[in-house]
Amino acid sequence: MTGSAAALAEFVELDRRIVLATQGGLPLVPRPYAAVAETLGVGEPLVRARMAAMLEDGRIRRIGAVPNHYAIGYTANGMSVWEIDDAAIDAVGERVGGLSFVTHCYRRPRHLPDWPYNLFAMVHAGSREAALERVQEIAALIEHEFPAACRQHDVLFSAGILKKTGLRIGG
């Protein structure tokens, strides 16, 4: 194996070890990358560089906090679903996704005739009534800025946390 091939193999193995060490979350300490580095027996700058490389090339999609909305008082979690005209959906989605109270917004295919909705926007609130008020704010915005783009909408409230983890790989 050439020197560059050996170095690449070492990075591939280190990247795998970093993913295994962090897939359950970063350590909840003041310097989480230093803690990961110590666990792996490498320097913190190397862990940061390898994670940045994995973010850059798409092997890691994001690094971020995953809050438990129930634990912080947001007990009414409503996925608002919208039937939006295809010609306007990108513009509507960008505008709705930019609202401070929408945590995620994305386009999904319709499944006619039973499911006409193609835009999903999640809102969290302290009560069902407050969540419904937020959805009405979205409806008013769409009606004002994109007249006739929305044919109908609904809200689906969650009964609990269904998923809070990403893909896991084995050790």
pLDDT digits (tens, 9 = 90+) for 83-99: 999 999 999 999 999 99
Label residue 69 by pLDDT band (50, 70, 90). Answer: low
What is the per-residue pLDDT across 1-38, written as a single tens digit (0 to 9) for each? Answer: 677 877 777 878 999 999 999 988 889 899 999 999 99
One domain for residues 53 and 82: no
Report if residue 68 sits inside a domain. no
Please report, to the nearest 10 degrees, the dihedral formed by the alpha carbons of residues 55, 61, 64, 67 taken in order: -170
Instruction: Supply the pLDDT for residue 94.
Output: 97
What is the per-residue pLDDT for 55? 92
Same domain, 48 and 81: no
In a domain, 65, yes or no: no
Name 87's Cβ contacts closer than 8 Å, sequence gap at least 6. Answer: 149
Widest distance between CA atoms in the chain: 65
The verdict on 91 and 153 lying in the same domain is yes
| 86: Cβ contacts below 8 Å, ≥ 6 apart | 118
Sign of the dihedral defined by the CA atoms of residues 124, 69, 94, 86, in that order = negative
Per-residue pLDDT, averaged over 76-86, amounts to 95
Could you give the CA distance from residue 142 to residue 134 in angstroms, rounded to a whole number? Answer: 13
Mean pLDDT of 107-127: 95
d(CA 122, CA 77): 7
Residue at 66 is within a domain: no
Nearest one of 61, 63, 53 to 14, comparing CA atoms? 53
Report if residue 106 sits inside a domain. Answer: yes
- For residue 61, pLDDT beyond 80: yes
Task: Quickly state the pLDDT bin for 153 (edges 50, 70, 90).
Answer: very high
The 3-class SS string of 86-115 reads CCCHHHHHHHHHCCCCEEEEEECCCECCCE
The CATH number for 82's domain is 3.30.70.920
Is 149 within 8 Å of 128 (Cβ atoms)? no
Please tell me whether residue 122 adopts helix, strand or coil conformation.
Answer: strand
Q: Is the pLDDT of residue 143 over 90?
A: yes
pLDDT of residue 25: 86
User: What is the identity of the amino acid at 76?
Assistant: A
In a domain, 29, yes or no: yes
The pLDDT of 136-159, averaged and rounded, is 95
Selection from 41, 64, 42, 60 nearest residue 52 by Cα? 60
**CB 29, CB 35: distance < 8 Å:** yes
Answer whether residue 66 shows pLDDT above 90. Answer: no
Q: What average pLDDT does this structure show over 92-116?
A: 96
Q: Could you tell me the residue range of the domain that residue 49 belongs to?
A: 3-57
In a domain, 14, yes or no: yes
Indicate the number of domains in the chain: 2
Q: How far apart are CA 112 and CA 18, in angstroms?
A: 43
Q: Is the residue at 121 inside a domain?
A: yes
CA distance 121 to 105: 4
Q: Note the pLDDT of residue 6.
A: 73
